[in-house]
Structure 1
Amino acid sequence: MSTVAFPSAEADPQTSAGNAARPTVIRNAQDVSRIVSAGAAKGSNARIVIAIALGGVFLDAYDLTSLAYGIKDIARQFSLSPVQVGFVSSAITFGAILGALFGGYLTDRIGRYRVFMADMLFFVVAAIAAGLAPNAWVLGGARFLMGFGVGLDLPVAMAFLAEFSRVAGKGNKAASVAAWCPAWYAATSTCYLLILGLYAILPEHQLGWLWRLTLAFGAVPAIAIILVRSRYISESPVWAANQGDLEEAARILKRSYGIDTVVERSATPQKAPRAASWRNYGVLFNATYRRRTILAAVIGSASSFGYNAIIFGLPVIITSFFQQGPLTTIVAALALNLAFAFVGGLIGVRTAPTVGAWKMTVLGHALQFASLIGLALIGKPGSGALVVVAILLLGGYLFGQGFGPGSHSMTYASLSYPTSLRGIGVGFNQTLVRSASTVSLFLFPVLAAAFGTKVFWLIAIAPLTSLLVLLAIRWEPSGYDIDAEDYAEPGGVTAAR
């Protein structure tokens, strides 16, 4: 684990998270960062802020998943070829690529709160437009707009999760960021539950409306988040302090952290955090951050490529490979998400502060690789026993995703960089990840049609690649005070390996 050498402070800003007997003095941005790193006071709104940020992640996952079951109906209704199906499926990730690229910079430049509220509006407009789409071109355009909102949201959501959490102990930064994973799977499961409910109540001749209603429903949670924003959501106190606005940081600490503070600006000059700039994309590859950036990019891209191929192809896999009907397909996809992916995500959150991100990611990728090889060897199962084995192998892949790269791909993307670089870092990572998603979503229908179950051999390359890079770069972000790097003097930070 790395060590951080802090410059000597004039006073310790906080001795415990719950010490509110007298106001805590803050003299600079580093003091604010230390208070946040120590943890919020009991009864504060910090956990609610984290829950709302996870609500944004929920929306991301719901919108990305909502087309998975209905794509066959869309292809039939609009008479689409496999290539056109790939276009409609991948339009959302094309938008996410651009959204992440600009969203990362804007998150660092104008703040977390403004970007978060803007992307909620994207979700509302795009969901309604997608549900009412008269043709594939409008649907693709709406999904592109929706993807732009997803790209904007992830950098800011990860910033909220990291910057409203403590460094060490239960519920630390790594655990809070890893919580994006069960939130994601809760959203995919909600999507399948909604599909199941609509399938049960819609007359058979109106089942063509199922995909439209599913897409349009994405506007509902976005509107709910917009309505509660003014009561609970605030700007990140560390980001505000880094901009030199200690008074605003003090107000946020009182409102969201339940901690009374008094601003007494230090007469001693402090190291100024790095200002937001497009040039910061280059900083991601300097001597301090290069290895972390490479590791986070490989984990995220490999995880996204394999996961999107499996999860978005899950209805197709179950229907085509296992010869099951629509109802069985929906129930099986829902059960796999809840029993394996969601449970795995919860394990990833619980083990983040103790076992760490690196070990869990290695274990997850190893299980995924073994599961995909097993699926490739089985091929199209003919007997009932092989069908059960194949379903369990799919579950094994999702379980490994949940506690491994699913939880910790964002841990690496978010906690490899301090506050001044976090938006840019996550944005760059998500640009690469969404590029991998786009390739995966575009190619899977084509490759599955051409190779059948042999496509699993190709997908297995993704976790194997990430596993090899993890063994070469052993960076552990959990429990490391990454935000202190913004204030450390040259030579004061020893990079963790």
Structure 2
Amino acid sequence: MSHHVLRGVKDVVSFIDAQPGIRGRAGIIWWLALSGLFLDAFSNSALSAGLGPMTRDMELSPTQVAILTSLASWVAIVFNPIGGWLADKWGRIPPLVFAKFLALIGAGLAAFAPSFEMVLAGRFFVGAAYGIDFAIAMALLAEFTPARFKSRLNTWQGIWYTAVCSNLLLAMMFYNLNVGDSIWRYSVGTAGIVAFILFIAQMIWMVESPTWLARKEKLERATLSMNRIYGDQFTAADFADRIPVTNQATKGFANIALIFRGTYLPRTILAATVQMAQSIQYFAVGWYLPIISLTLFGADFIVATFGALVFNLFGILGGFMSPVIGKKFGLRRASAIGFGAVFVMLVLLGFFYETMPIWLAFVVPSLFILFHSGGPGANGKSLSTLSFRSELRAGANGVIGALGSMGAALGLLVFPLLKADLGLGPTFLILSVVPLIAFIVCSIIKWDPTRAAVSPDEELDAPQFKSDAAAQHEAAAQLAAAQR
């Protein structure tokens, strides 16, 4: 067993970066965090697979469908920054576990809801859980991932589509059990079972991020976390030998303003653009694939669901390829390429979906999902996670994630309304503007965290991070020098 003396955050980051892989307890924590994202996708897509039967079962109007499907995303807009703030101030693990409890409540309320209003209440809790969990889980993943494996954060996209496909398979299974139009209740209820299992597993196995603890100058606790995670012997250096954390962001929720200043501003613009645009295009098109399949392939539930399943299998392929794509091209360029391809697919669907042969009606939506998941679908979260230092990371994820949730909410709200008023073709053409704009932004801003020389936690301090005390000290020193 090796012995390591930790003098500060740089020693913690250097040790993690030197690891040959993400193994042992670190690997368990890493996959449990990803499993939480599986739950987020599973809960969000639980209504998607059974939306047609649910609409008939509860006799919902297009407006009610739009409100119901988008509510969780509207709620997530509020809870994204709240979750990020909690994680940056109090630690990653407590709010992460609490999110599973909220997801369990939401699933229970919706599955047994006697009315439309009760389903809305359940979706409120699902949205709160989603908002809290995503901001924190991505930050935690980044802090357990060695620098040369940072592109592996994109694995979450493959996990997302695995959850969506699992829902579609379950929907076909429940359909064959002859449960009728109540099929959606079984999908939502299954999400509650997943939430309960993860709640227990995360309580048992999760360990607080040593990088966050070290950034907060809680070095003794950081050494305890390192001992539990890596098995080596870690001790905190004597106070005289410690490397102080300079210019730490200490203003609580006001820290969020820092990501809109100085060197972080273009990073924030890039990450927010990718996040919001990919959310709009996915939740306006990808989420509604079961409904789109009904239009393309007819009213048979099994055929339409199978069509949506085929589309989303390409999401699994693209999602698990995205770490390789991101490593080869960089997150920014991969996003630009993906947005450009998605734009082309939406234009093709807009002009030709009614006249396409059946094979092409499978190919074009499948390519849409493939290019989305292999590029911008994964990269929005990864860009915001990898672009900021530890004490800002979850908060930045929360704010940028809130913009992504706003995009998701807009997509979910706008699609059924546009489709009802204008038809499917014009709706695709209107939505194609979104990836086109995102492509332009990704082509202009050149920041890419996977191409940076050092991680944000090791960057030289930029002016926007100076504390009030540090700024006053510097001003006094400059005044004294001028007087001399």
- Compute the TM-score of the two structures, normalised by the length of structure 1: 0.89
**2:368 equivalent in structure 1:** 397
Residue 184 of structure 2, aligned match among 189, 201, 211: 211
**Post-superposition shift, 1:42?**
7.8
Q: Does the C-alpha gap of structure 1 residues 418 and 409 become closer, same or farther in structure 2, counting only changes over 3 Å? A: same
Code of the residue aligned with 2:123 in structure 1: it is: R
**1:318 equivalent in structure 2:** 293
More divergent stretch after superposition (136-145 vs 76-85): 76-85
- RMSD over aligned CA atoms reads 2.0
Instruction: Tell me, yes or no, if structure 1 residue 197 matches structure 2 residue 199.
Output: no
CA contact (8 A) 1:41 1:258 kept: no
Instruction: Tell me, yes or no, if structure 1 residue 420 matches structure 2 residue 391.
Output: yes
SS in 2 for 1:24: strand
Deviations along 1:334-382, one digit per CA (max 9) or x if unpaired, are 11111x111011111223333321221122111111111111120323x
CA contact (8 A) 2:97 2:203 kept: no
SS in 1 for 2:139: helix
**Post-superposition shift, 1:314?**
0.8
CA contact (8 A) 2:266 2:445 kept: yes
CA contact (8 A) 2:57 2:182 kept: no
**1:279 equivalent in structure 2:** 254
SS in 2 for 1:66: helix
CA contact (8 A) 2:387 2:456 kept: no
Count of matched residue pairs: 462
Give matches, 1:235-274, under 5 Å. Answer: 235-267=208-240, 270-272=244-246, 273-274=248-249
Question: Identity over aligned residues, as a percent?
Answer: 27
**Post-superposition shift, 1:387?**
2.6
Distance 1:52 1:429 in 2: 23
Distance 1:266 1:367 in 2: 55
SS in 1 for 2:235: strand
Residue 79 of structure 2, aligned match among 83, 99, 114: 99
Q: Does the C-alpha gap of structure 1 residues 487 and 373 become closer, same or farther in structure 2, counting only changes over 3 Å? A: closer
Distance 2:385 2:21 in 1: 24
- Find runs of 4+ consecutive structure 1 residues off by over 4 angstroms: 40-43, 481-484
Residue 331 of structure 1, aligned match among 285, 306, 310: 306
**Post-superposition shift, 1:324?**
4.2
SS in 2 for 1:426: helix
Residue 150 of structure 2, aligned match among 154, 162, 173: 173
Instruction: Tell me, yes or no, if structure 1 residue 84 matches structure 2 residue 64.
Output: yes
More divergent stretch after superposition (135-144 vs 74-83): 74-83
Distance 2:461 2:413 in 1: 47
**Post-superposition shift, 1:487?**
6.3
**Stretches of structure 2 lacking an aligned partner (at least 5 in a row):** 466-484
SS in 1 for 2:368: helix
Q: Does the C-alpha gap of structure 1 residues 65 and 41 become closer, same or farther in structure 2, counting only changes over 3 Å? A: closer
Residue 319 of structure 2, aligned match among 331, 345, 370: 345
CA contact (8 A) 1:39 1:166 kept: yes
Residue 473 of structure 1, aligned match among 417, 424, 445: 445
Distance 1:74 1:330 in 2: 14
Distance 1:42 1:138 in 2: 42
**2:471 equivalent in structure 1:** none
**2:28 equivalent in structure 1:** 48
Instruction: Tell me, yes or no, if structure 1 residue 365 matches structure 2 residue 339.
Output: yes
> Larger helix proportion, structure 1 or 2?
2
CA contact (8 A) 2:216 2:391 kept: no
Give matches, 1:27-38, under 5 Å. Answer: 27-38=7-18
Deviations along 1:410-443, one digit per CA (max 9) or x if unpaired, are 1111111111111111000111111111111111
Distance 1:354 1:178 in 2: 13
- Compute the TM-score of the two structures, normalised by the length of structure 2: 0.91
Code of the residue aligned with 1:409 in structure 2: it is: G
Code of the residue aligned with 1:25 in structure 2: it is: V
**Stretches of structure 1 lacking an aligned partner (at least 5 in a row):** 1-19
More divergent stretch after superposition (252-261 vs 35-44): 35-44
SS in 2 for 1:262: strand
Q: Does the C-alpha gap of structure 1 residues 482 and 81 become closer, same or farther in structure 2, counting only changes over 3 Å? A: farther
CA contact (8 A) 2:4 2:233 kept: yes
